[in-house]
Structure 1
Amino acid sequence: MNKLYKFFELKKKNILCIYFTAGYPTISSTEKIVTTLQDLPVDLIEIGIPYSDPLADGIVIQNSNKISLKNGMNVSLLFSQIKKIKDSIRTPIILMGYYNQFYQFGEDKFLKESQESGISGLIFPDLPVNVFVKKYQKMFQKHLLSMIFLITPKTDPDRISLLSKITDSFLYLVSSNSITGEPILFGDKQISYFNRIQKLSPHVPKLIGFGIRDKKTFDFSCQYANGGIIGSSFIQSLNKNRLKYSIREYITSLFG
């Protein structure tokens, strides 16, 4: 049983997941951000592995990827950084990357390194579900890792049913057909979508991402799912000269 499964057994609502890009704003920021976040009311930490072509991401995360890569961040270095602090990490950590990174690093090696680093789950948005089931599902189970799947407003009911059956943690609900960081006006269209997913998979935890950026939108995500994922606006708030203070200030603003 992995940490994410245990976590969702214990906490059912108002779950806050914070996303940031490894190696941003500086190469040494990753460890500082993780250790600071876990002392705040943050339930899950999602770390993005910088990639040269992050297709689903908006300008904020794209820029953080460019700076991170320029700083020298890579998969091996990220695992090394996380291993240094893994014994003190209490908050479940998720890595988000792309299938090519997973494949090029070596799939079994990636999963082994993830387990040894204390990682709880992985997100590869472009990894086909049928490939995961046939080739990787047992490997993930062997290494006690969850695969987190994305659902969009265009995902058909049969696929939602399949993902609900094979997940052992939560479903990531993409709030709209847009990229990360876009200003989204949550209204009847999104509510209808979230309610539809809830009816199709009532017993599976769900977190809403894309457009969750402040207290109002986070509260909205908690109303229609188990919680929300915040990325772009958190990244924008990071001040490398006052890193810990800027993190505390941002997280506090979500509950004020």
Structure 2
Amino acid sequence: MNRIKELFKRKQNDILSIYFTAGFPKLEDTCAVIRELQNKGVDLIEVGIPFSDPMADGLVIQESSMQALKNGMNLRILFQQLANIRKDVHIPLIMMGYLNPIMQYGFDTFCKDCKAVGVDGMIIPDLPFKDYLDEYKAIADKYDLRIIMLITPATSDERIRLIDAHTDGFIYMVSSASTTGTQTNFDQEKQSYFKRIKAMKLNNPQLIGFGISNKSTLAAALQNASGAIVGSKFVAILGESKDIKSAVEELLKSLSE
């Protein structure tokens, strides 16, 4: 069974997913970050593919992408780095990136290489749902990979039901239509959005991301979904910490105090 499916079968609540940019702060840090996050009890990891024009990302992740690209990170190197990751990493790994670098690499080749190194799925924020249905889903299914779709407060109930019917992993609930990393708390409008989705009783579990940065935003996410995704907060800490172990410890401390 796909590790994403296994995770949600085993654990329905309080799931913590962490995003980081591959090749940041240093090119060779990717696997060390993954191992340290697993060691500290993180449930799911999103490995960010650096891209020069990350339109959904805030400044922190944009800058980490630029640094990773300067360091020489690309998909070929990333797959080389991940070649032996499954010797000691057992939690689900998801690639997160924009369509452009994936298409340059070749989508079928990308999926084949994901499967070869033990990646379980992908999040492609700029992949249109129609294209996913018409073309990309069948290729991902061939390699037992899950493509995770995003929804926002502006997504209609009809579209959400359609996404729920045609995906099989989890649904990424973007907390707002803004870029990542721009919130310190969730206002009434966002709380209403969370409650609306919860009331729909979807088949797929949901994780809430964009703006999870402290104890209160984490608690709000965990109250309204199966779990939370933390990205910008960790990337910012990673860029400032003396080492990876300290960065992970500081992140978990910031989410619990």
Unaligned runs of 5+ in 2: none
Contact 2:184-2:213 within 8 A present in 1 as well? no
Task: Give the aligned partner of residue 102 of structure 2.
Answer: 102
Task: Give the aligned partner of residue 222 of structure 2.
Answer: 222
* 1:197 alignment partner, SS class: helix
Does 2:251 correspond to 1:250?
Answer: yes
What's the CA shift for 1:247? 1.5
169-178 or 189-198, larger mean C-alpha shift: 189-198
Task: Give the aligned partner of residue 146 of structure 2.
Answer: 146
Give a deviation string over 1:67-88, Cα, whole Å, max 9, x none.
Answer: 0000000011111111132221
Task: Give the aligned partner of residue 163 of structure 1.
Answer: 163
Amino acid at match of 2:128: P
CA distance in 1, matches of 2:189, 2:177: 12
Give a deviation string over 1:111-152, Cα, whole Å, max 9, x none.
Answer: 000001100110111111111111121211110100000000
CA distance in 2, matches of 1:128, 1:243: 35
CA distance in 1, matches of 2:112, 2:243: 35
- Would you say how many aligned residue pairs link Structure 1 and Structure 2? 256
Contact 1:49-1:96 within 8 A present in 2 as well? yes
Contact 1:25-1:67 within 8 A present in 2 as well? yes
Contact 1:19-1:230 within 8 A present in 2 as well? yes
Contact 1:25-1:240 within 8 A present in 2 as well? no
Amino acid at match of 1:130: K
Task: Give the aligned partner of residue 123 of structure 1.
Answer: 123
Identical aligned pairs, as a percentage? 43
* 1:90 alignment partner, SS class: coil
Contact 2:140-2:147 within 8 A present in 1 as well? yes
CA distance in 2, matches of 1:168, 1:87: 26
CA distance in 2, matches of 1:28, 1:248: 20
Amino acid at match of 2:33: I
The alignment's TM-score, normalised by the length of structure 2, stands at 0.96
* 2:229 alignment partner, SS class: strand
Amino acid at match of 1:191: Q
**Mapping 1:83-94, distance limit 5 Å:** 83-94=83-94
Contact 2:207-2:228 within 8 A present in 1 as well? yes
What's the CA shift for 1:242? 2.1
Give a deviation string over 1:18-61, Cα, whole Å, max 9, x none.
Answer: 00000000001111100100011210000110000000001000
CA distance in 2, matches of 1:247, 1:146: 27
What's the CA shift for 1:6? 1.4
Contact 1:17-1:42 within 8 A present in 2 as well? yes
For residues 44 and 198 of structure 1, do their structure 2 counterparts lie closer, same or farther at Cα, with a shift above 3 Å needed? same
Amino acid at match of 1:63: E
**Mapping 1:8-27, distance limit 5 Å:** 8-27=8-27
For residues 247 and 184 of structure 1, do their structure 2 counterparts lie closer, same or farther at Cα, with a shift above 3 Å needed? closer
* 2:180 alignment partner, SS class: coil
What's the CA shift for 1:184? 4.4
Amino acid at match of 1:66: M
CA distance in 2, matches of 1:241, 1:191: 36
Task: Give the aligned partner of residue 59 of structure 1.
Answer: 59
CA distance in 2, matches of 1:192, 1:241: 40
Contact 2:123-2:149 within 8 A present in 1 as well? yes
* 2:47 alignment partner, SS class: strand
CA distance in 2, matches of 1:150, 1:81: 27
What's the CA shift for 1:203? 3.1
